[in-house]
Amino acid sequence: MDTGRIAKAGAEDEPAGTTASTLRVNNGTGEADRRTAARSPFFRLPRKLRDEIYDYVALSARTTYYDIALEANKQPQKIAYVNRGGSQFDAELGDAAQRRVRSLLLTGDRSGRQLCDPEPCHHVPNQEKLVKAEHHWLEGSQGRRADGSYGLNIHAFILVVPLYAFHAPSSVVFTFRFPGKEELGPRLRFDAYWGAISGKITFPDVDNSAVQELLSIAQKVAWKGSIREYMIWRRYVVNHVRKEAC
């Protein structure tokens, strides 16, 4: 999804005589999307009114996605969405999802929902060495690198944060991405586990040095202007992921 196009669609109303669909066509979206938007009475509504509707749709979403790309010495690149589609509706709904996530990162959304706390370590039974951490996992690839060595590259840290539910359960899926990592093969999921003794999250199938590399990259990120995202990273990842050698 083109974050620049979405930011442009959500940052301001369309200029007089220009529709959002025209802007998207000019950015390469395609003739089909322009025709669909032109036929729909919904897109003839003022953008401000559409945004009110989108906000209610975003509030009712069972799952909201928030991707945060982390690279050393760069500011995080962020995008929120409910659907990954490339239509005008999906792009404008993504703007509403962004507003909702920003509210959740501060105090709560318009419905009063808030982010739940991290999974408590004390839920790990003493007699069990490891218990799966359902809301944490890594996405990576394994294979031969360009220099011929065999290894593992971690591409993303996925964190599912449930919301305190008054009605239907819902959640925000935070994906901390690490772009620039070479694809060594198909994407694989590496599950996380709570350690009964350490009370920390570990990844038994991942070399500990790979996890430490992610933590190191995040320390070098230019978090200025993204303090709320930084607090999520610390609160749900840094404070719970095991840091010492396995």
pLDDT digits (tens, 9 = 90+) for 80-119: 999 988 899 999 999 999 999 999 999 899 888 999 988 7
DSSP letter for 167, please: S
Contact 121, 199 (CB under 8 A): yes
In this structure, what DSSP letter does residue 238 have? I
| pLDDT score, position 21 | 32
Whole-number Å distance between alpha carbons of 204 and 14: 51
Helix, strand, coil percentages in the chain from 3-state DSSP, rounded to 5: 35, 25, 40
pLDDT of residue 38: 58
Low-confidence ranges of the chain (pLDDT < 50): 1-27, 245-246
The pLDDT score that the predictor gives to residue 200 is: 87
Rounded to two decimals, the pTM is 0.81
- Residue pair 81/37 in contact (Cβ under 8 Å)? The answer is no
Q: What is the pLDDT of residues 107-151, one digit of tens each?
A: 899 888 999 988 765 555 565 678 899 999 999 999 998 888 899
Contact predicate 226/75, CB 8 Å: yes
Strand ranges, E, within 54-149: 63-69, 77-81, 130-144
Instruction: Show the CA angle centred on residue 227, arms to residues 77 and 134, nearest 5°.
Output: 75
Residue-level pLDDT at 14? 34
- The answer to whether 48 and 156 are in contact (CB under 8 A) is no
Predicted confidence at residue 10, as pLDDT, reads: 36
Nearest-10 crossing angle of helices 31-39, 88-106:
80
pLDDT of res. 15? 34
